[in-house]
Each structure stands twice: as C-alpha cells, then as structure tokens.
Structure 1
Amino acid sequence: MIHFNLKKTAFILSTALLSTAVQASGYHFGTQSVNAQGTANAAAAEAADASTIFYNPAGLTKLDSSQISVNANIVFPSIHYEAESAKHFRTGADVSGSTSGKITETTVAPHVYGAYKASDDVTLGLGVYVPFGSATEYEKDSVLRHNINKLGLTTIAIEPVVAWKLNEQHAVGAGLIAQYSKAELRKYSDWDASGAISQLASGLASRQAGRPVAVDATGKADGHADVKGHDWGFG
C-alpha cells in the first residue's frame, strides 16, 4: 500500500508540472534553430552552428570557424471556433453577438546568431531572437468580448556572449540578455451590468412617446479598453 501511494503521489506531481509547462508553451516560442528543429529539438545543444548561443553558449568553442546563422519561422495559424455562448451576469440572458469566427494572423519569428573566433580558446557571439510570442484576437462583437477580446505579446532578445575553452573536455560560457517586450490587451465591459442604464433608458422612453429607447445585449451599452505596454528587462 505504501508503494502504491508513492507511485500515485509521483504521478500527480508529474502531471501538475507538465500541466504548468503546457500552459507556458502558449507564450514560449519553442524553436530557435532550423537544425535543431529538424530533429524535434533533440539535438538542440550539440553546437552544430551559432544558434548554440541560445541553448548552450559554451558550445561556441566547438565551432571550427566564425559563422552567421539566420533562421526564420513562419507560423500560419488556422483556428476556427463556433457555438460560443455567454450569459449576462445580472439578467442571465444570452449575450448577443458573433458566436463563431477564426484566427488566421500570420506571424514571422526571425532569429539571427553570429560567432567570431577571437582565438583558438575564445569565441565571441551575438544572438538576436524571439523567445516569446502570442497573438489572439476574437471578433469585436464576439459574445466572449466581456471576458477577453484581444491578447498580444511580442518579445525580442539581444544576447552577447563569450565562450572560453578550458581544455579539450571543458568549456564555459556567459552572456547578458537584454529583452524588449511589448504587450496589448483589449477587453469589453457591459456598462449595464447593474441595470442602471436600462432603468434610465426605460424612464426616458416613457417620457418620449413614439421614440422608444432600448439598451440590450447588442453592444449599445458596451465600453472597451485597450491597454498597451512595453519595457526592457536584463538578465
């Protein structure tokens, strides 16, 4: 029984850790090298080219000469969603609007790495790459607009490194990462969540015969905010 409990506990912990990794992958750009991508990143740290700056800076000492590695990944997402639904918090009525749509925004992620053999034992490197990125935008009249309507994250990292070959078996590498990040968020809000606007409109309509005033779920009582931010980070 004790052995079973240990196995069960280990399974639960492993599942929790893997779940966290999957969620983070929505922002992490999973490949930085075309060579590594060809082997599903199984050989990412083998120092086959200058992209080892990202995976293993000390691997620069294994390169035979100076070189430049240029990679570009083009992402063609094709995400279709349908049969979406949402309820108003106060009335419980269905939020009207678009219940289907698609996300097809093409994204280009370039990665450039350069290595310079200063001597037989010292190699300098510079990498400019995209480590994180995400873009999601629903229709502006989507029934989900009160939850989230648009989310975007773009980062660019600049990484100078130096690698030193200690002997034939050992090498060390170190570098500085300067990372620029830009994020955007758009969200709609139902301004009639409390019912105050509906009550006001109803009273106005009763005073204006023949000129009815109505506030419903079509967005007439909606407001939205666009939040944008950008900053540098170092590590």
Structure 2
Amino acid sequence: MYRISFLTIALLSSSALGTAQADSFAINEYSTSDLGRANAGRVTQTQDASAAFGNPALLPAFERPEITVGASQILGNAEFDDQGSTDALGNPLGGNTDGFLSDATVPHGHAVYPLTERLSLGLSISAPFGLATEYERDWPGRYQALESELETININPSVGFALTDTFSVGAGISAQRIDARLTSAIDFGAVCFSQSDPLTCTTAGVVPQGADGLTEIEGDDWSYGWNAGLAWMPHPDVTIGLHYRSEVQHDIEGSADFTVPANAGFLTATGAFTDTPGSASLDLPASTELGVKWRASERATFYANAQWTEWSSIEELRVEFENPVQPDSVEELNYEDAGRYGVGVDYELSEGWMVRAGYALDESPTQAQFRTARIPDNDRHIIAMGATWSPNEDWSVDAAFNRVQIEETDFDRAGNFGDRVVGEYSGHADVMSVSAKRRF
C-alpha cells in the first residue's frame, strides 16, 4: 500500500508563505512546471500533481500516487516618477521613489492518490492571492499608502472521476485563510486646517506636511469556496479542459491603531483617531478557465488557455470602525472583469530532459481613474522558460523563470487629506521557481 504524508506538504507550504503582486493581487505561482509555459497548461497538464489545483478532472490520469513540492521567489523592481504631486495647500509632496515592490517567497504543495482506475483524490496547498508593497516614509503618496500586505493560504482537497475513457469530471472545496495589513500616513495639518482656525493650527505647529501621524489596520479571516472542472480527450493527442473556481467571501475582523503627534492631540478631543476594532468585507473573485493541449509529436506538446476572472466583485476597500466618530476608511477600486491568455510548449530533449517556454498577456482589472497606490496595476506581458530533469521514473526536478513586464502606468489620484498624487509607475518582476516531484 502506498502512503503519502499530506501533513508534510502542509508544513512545507505554510512555513514561508509570502505575497507578491501579480494579476492585480492574484498569484499564479502554484506550479513550477506550469510557470515554465506561462501557466498555459493549468487546466490540461498532467506533468505533476499540481494538476489537482489546476483542474481536478485530470486526477484520474495519474496511475500512481505522487507528491510535488516547490517554491517561487519573486523579485520586484519598480519606480514612481513624480510629476507634480501636491498637498492640501498646493505645496510639493516630495520626489521620486523606487523599490516599493517587496520581494516574496511563494511555496506550493500538491498530492494525488489514485483509489481505483477511475477515482482519484487530490490535495493542493497554495497562495492564490497576495500583495506586498512598502513605500519610503517621505514618498509623495504617503497619505494614500505606505505598507500594504495581503497574504492567503488555500487548502484545497479534491476528487476526480473518469466517467469514460475519454471524459472525466472533478470537484473540490477550499478552506482559505487571509491576513491583511494596511498602513498610511495621516496629514494632521490638513485635518486641522479643515476642522479648525488655520491660525490656531499654525500656532500649534500643526500645518500640512508638518504634523504627520500614522494609521495601521490589521485583520484576518477564514472562509470557504469550491471548484469544479471537466477534461475531455476527443483524440488521443488532444485534451480539452474547463475549470471554474468560486468566489470566496471574506469578512475580515481586526483593529486600527492610530499614532498622533503630541502637538495634534487636541484633534482627538471628539474621540476620533483613537485605537478601535474594525472590520472589512473582501470578496476574492471567481474565475473560469478553458485550455487545450495538443501532443504534436513524440517530443513536442503545445498548450493554449484563456482565463476569465470576475474582478468586478471588488468595488471598494472599506474598513468600518466600531468607534462611531471615526469615519469609514474607503478606497474606491471599481474593478472590471479581466482576461489572461497564454500559449506554451514542452519539448522532450531526451529521456531525462524536457524544456519548455511560454508567453501570456495578462489584462489588468483596474480602471485608470480608480487606480490606487496600494495596487498600481496595469496590463503585463509574461515571458517564460523552464526545464524538467528526471533521473529515474520516481523522481524529477523542475525549474522555471518568468519575466513579468508591467506596462507603464499613469497615476493621478486625490487623497482624503486634500493631497493629489500625480506621476508615472514603471517596473517589472522576475520569478524564479524550483520544485521536486516524487512518485510512489
């Protein structure tokens, strides 16, 4: 009897969970082998056990139990070119900034266990969403964003069943944990000028950009979703896959901590800007993906896929505070549904070596007028390459590299303190991934 330690996968996958910016804040680093073809094989590939996440209908294609574990390192490189950002009085807010895309490590673990020739079980542990940006304390948009962290871990058991020799179905459930942390500066000088006599504010030294405070919001939640798919082989060399992953509705509970400079303490007399519990709703979007795999020859296999993500479920980031005199913290996003389109190829060099490559166009869900400094998102182009080394039938090692080129992004957004941030974002990310596969 074969035995697989699902607990081992869970520990490896959760021990170094990180975040990264991709597909707005979706993360595609669930599989090293599929990263090598720009994720073009997500719903059709059976290269390794990560198929359990991509499309559980593929599970019956595995003849032996199998474990795949790996990790991706994401290295971000981006800058903001200031083009006239001003505070509430029209004074310059600061200069350029770079290096705000935080590096991240994203692990993954997957397992497949065939019960019969037609019925198989699967388990995937991954990080499907994440965000990590950290700006310098004096950057022009400090009153709109300083640090933004969002981490998820998704535990997804699944089952696949072959209805016929050429058609199979699969489904799973997901338990998803989310942790979020948002910080930004508060211009108490601008607050004072809007609520009190400017002479009183100036006498106290509470002037725009002269009395900065800080707000820090943290929270977490567990929630649940489901996924289902099908796989059809109309020809021995062709596989068509279709997969749907549901929306996951999170009700995040946490707290808000305010740091107020001593000379601005009188602005808290009403009870505002005091530490308080808070909550926020975040509906992580559903997605539908269609893919085709064609084994063109004994050595070459081609992949193509299209993914549609229902980002329109996210209209705003709203934090509601229990303190009745503290207004909600609101950032309008008004996301639109968006697509991701990829092609890829595997080529078998020899019995022990396979190489692959791919390209994907990833559309941003962001509308220009609602772009936020927390997620300065735009369309991106992904160039991918990878390889698999199989020293024997039981073991293999995968490696992959992605260059994610983000299109230059114009930015113009007014903040809550009369500030206006204007400029241009540019940047890219490099993704390096390795994994190991063990068959039993």
The TM-score range, normalised by the shorter chain, is 0.7 to 0.9
Asked if structure 1 preserves the Cα contact closer than 8 Å seen for 2:64 and 2:113, the reply is yes
- The Cα of 1:85 is off from its aligned counterpart by 4.4
Q: How does 1:65-104 map to 2 (within 5 A)?
A: 65-83=64-82, 85-89=84-88, 91-95=89-93, 97=94, 99-103=96-100
* RMSD (CA atoms): 2.2
Answer with 1 or 2: which has the greater Rg. Answer: 1
One-letter amino acid matched to 1:56: N
Q: How does 1:62-211 map to 2 (within 5 A)?
A: 62-83=61-82, 85-89=84-88, 91-95=89-93, 97=94, 99-103=96-100, 105-193=102-190, 194-195=192-193, 196=196, 199-200=199-200, 202-203=202-203
Other-structure match for 2:213: 223
* Helix, strand or coil at the partner of 1:192: helix
One-letter amino acid matched to 2:167: H
In 2 relative to 1, CA 34–24 (structure 1 residues): closer, same or farther, beyond 3 Å? Answer: closer
One-letter amino acid matched to 1:40: A
Asked if structure 2 preserves the Cα contact closer than 8 Å seen for 1:112 and 1:129, the reply is yes
| Greater relative CO (CA pairs within 8 A, separation 6+) | 2
Other-structure match for 1:209: none
Asked if structure 2 preserves the Cα contact closer than 8 Å seen for 1:47 and 1:56, the reply is no
Deviations 1:62-85 (A, max 9, x none): 012100011211101122334364
Structure having the higher strand fraction is 2
Q: Higher mean Cα deviation, 73-82 or 174-183?
A: 73-82
Asked if structure 2 preserves the Cα contact closer than 8 Å seen for 1:85 and 1:99, the reply is no
Q: How does 1:34-45 map to 2 (within 5 A)?
A: 34-44=32-42, 45=44
Q: Identity rate of aligned residues, in percent?
A: 30
* Helix, strand or coil at the partner of 2:141: coil
- Would you say how many aligned residue pairs link Structure 1 and Structure 2? 201
One-letter amino acid matched to 2:159: V
TM-score (norm 1): 0.77
Question: Structure 1: how far apart are the matches of 2:26 and 2:130?
Answer: 6
Question: Structure 1: how far apart are the matches of 2:63 and 2:46?
Answer: 11
- The Cα of 1:98 is off from its aligned counterpart by 5.2
Asked if structure 1 preserves the Cα contact closer than 8 Å seen for 2:73 and 2:105, the reply is yes
Which consecutive residues of structure 1, in runs of 5 or more, have no partner in the other structure?
1-22, 205-213
Question: Structure 1: how far apart are the matches of 2:81 and 2:114?
Answer: 55
Question: Structure 1: how far apart are the matches of 2:144 and 2:32?
Answer: 37
Question: Structure 2: how far apart are the matches of 1:24 and 1:31?
Answer: 9
Other-structure match for 2:24: 26
Deviations 1:157-192 (A, max 9, x none): 000111112220121211110011111111112112
Q: Higher mean Cα deviation, 192-201 or 44-53?
A: 192-201
Question: Structure 2: how far apart are the matches of 1:59 and 1:164?
Answer: 9
Question: Structure 2: how far apart are the matches of 1:24 and 1:41?
Answer: 13
